[in-house]
């Protein structure tokens, strides 16, 4: 579904992404991991066409993202920070998106219900807490039933209950055969839904493995421990192996 070939993105001398190649397929839940500034967000923004890379090719469902924008119709995106025009209400934001997506007429509003947003949909965005805004962002990501979900630190601002709801939703959609890309600097509670782990550091791809492979190679059962071990040892671990 997504094919990345030799992707490089530089900001001046700084390499945000350095020669990344990877492929993601239906039914996968890929955790993009790495410390702050490792290039996770740059990578997903490149997929979304928000960041324009110097070299390399990204193809989504066979479409080159540099040449076309229609491919985005199949992507649901939940940004890291959800900031909205402050005087818009939740209802207006949802309506606006719906009006922009006239191509879709069947909406997935499960999260809206489960987060109980209906009750507060008349509130303006500036009056909402960061967590509630994250909920809105999550709802919008699923709204048009995309086959591809890209979520940037989805659980960061959410309370444990909401986090659980979102996780269940992600799991459900994965089971429906969708591809889900999630970035996180800690894997913690994505543990049980992750099928693949992609680890970036300083813009470079350190490894891209299935969860099973990782568990097997480290002997740890819980992924977060696996990653913690990797992060502590850094490259040493990889090289050592």
Partner 1 sequence: MHMKTIVKYVLLDLIKNKTVAVYTIVLFILSFSVLGMSGNISKGILSLLNVTLLFVPLINLLFSTIYFFNSSEFIELLLAQPVKRKTMLLANYTGVATALTAAYVIGIGVPVMMLAFNPASLMLLLSGVFLTLVFSAIGLLIFVIFSDKTKGIGAAIVTALFFTLIFDGLLLAFIYSFSDYPIDKPVIGFISLNPIDLGRILVLLKLDVAVMMGYSGALFKKFLGSFIGIAYACTCLLIWVALPLIASVRIFRRKNL
Tell me if 124 contacts partner 1 by CB under 8 A.
Answer: yes
Q: How far apart are CA 154 and CA 18, in angstroms?
A: 25
Say how many residues make up the chain: 241
Tell me if 21 contacts partner 1 by CB under 8 A.
Answer: no
CA nearest to 149, candidates 16, 60, 38, 17: 60
Residues 179-208 close enough to bind partner 1 by CB under 8 A: none
Least distance to partner 1, CB of residue 11, Å: 8
User: Nearer Cβ to partner 1, position 34 or 79?
Assistant: 79
User: Nearer Cβ to partner 1, position 46 or 155?
Assistant: 46
> Which helix H or strand E contains 77, and what residues bound it?
strand 75-78
Tell me if 77 contacts partner 1 by CB under 8 A.
Answer: yes
Neighbours of 116 (CB within 10 A): 10
Q: How far apart are CA 105 and CA 102, in angstroms?
A: 7
Tell me if 59 contacts partner 1 by CB under 8 A.
Answer: no
Tell me if 79 contacts partner 1 by CB under 8 A.
Answer: yes
Q: How far apart are CA 190 and CA 182, in angstroms?
A: 9
Tell me if 122 contacts partner 1 by CB under 8 A.
Answer: no
Q: Point out which span in 92-100, 174-182, 199-207, 216-224 binds partner 1 (CB under 8 A).
A: 92-100
Single out the residue of 26, 101, 118, 222 in contact with partner 1 (rule: CB under 8 A): 101
The torsion angles phi and psi of 105, rounded to 5 degrees, stand at -130, 5
Single out the residue of 13, 102, 240, 241 in contact with partner 1 (rule: CB under 8 A): 102
Single out the residue of 6, 23, 35, 52 in contact with partner 1 (rule: CB under 8 A): 52
> Which helix H or strand E contains 228, and what residues bound it?
helix 223-233
Single out the residue of 3, 19, 57, 88 in contact with partner 1 (rule: CB under 8 A): 88
Q: How far apart are CA 165 and CA 115, in angstroms?
A: 8
DSSP state of 83: -
Tell me if 174 contacts partner 1 by CB under 8 A.
Answer: no
Tell me if 99 contacts partner 1 by CB under 8 A.
Answer: yes
Residues 6+ apart with CB under 8 A from 141: 76, 77, 78, 149, 150, 151
Q: Please return the burial class of 40, using the count of CB atoms within 10 Å of its CB with bins 0-12, 13-18 and 19+.
A: buried
Q: Point out which span in 50-58, 105-113, 171-179, 190-198 binds partner 1 (CB under 8 A).
A: 50-58
- Interface residues with partner 1 (CB under 8 A)? 9, 11, 45, 48-52, 69-73, 75, 77, 79, 81-88, 92, 96-97, 99-103, 124, 137, 140, 150
């Amino acid at each position: 579904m997504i094919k990345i070939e030799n992707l490089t993105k530089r900001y001046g001398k700084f390499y945000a992404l350095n020669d990344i190649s990877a492929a993601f397929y239906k039914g996968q839940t890929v955790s993009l991991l790495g410390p702050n500034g490792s290039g996770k967000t740059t990578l997903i923004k490149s997929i979304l066409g928000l960041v324009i890379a110097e070299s390399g090719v990204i193809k989504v469902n066979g479409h080159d993202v540099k040449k076309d924008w229609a491919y985005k119709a199949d992507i649901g995106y939940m940004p890291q920070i959800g900031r909205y025009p402050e005087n818009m209400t939740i209802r207006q934001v949802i309506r606006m998106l719906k009006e922009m997506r006239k191509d879709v007429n069947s909406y997935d509003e499960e999260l809206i219900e489960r987060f109980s947003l209906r009750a507060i949909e008349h509130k303006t965005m500036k009056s909402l807490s960061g967590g509630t805004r994250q909920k809105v962002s999550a709802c919008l990501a699923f709204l048009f039933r995309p086959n591809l979900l890209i979520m940037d630190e989805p659980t960061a601002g959410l309370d444990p209950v909401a986090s659980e709801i979102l996780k269940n939703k992600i799991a459900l959609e994965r089971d429906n055969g969708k591809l889900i890309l999630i970035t996180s600097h800690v894997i913690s509670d994505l543990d049980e839904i992750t099928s693949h782990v992609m680890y970036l550091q300083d813009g470079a791809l350190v490894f891209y493995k299935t969860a099973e492979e990782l568990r097997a190679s480290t002997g740890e059962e819980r992924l977060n421990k696996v990653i913690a071990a990797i992060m502590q040892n850094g490259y040493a671990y990889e090289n050592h192996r």
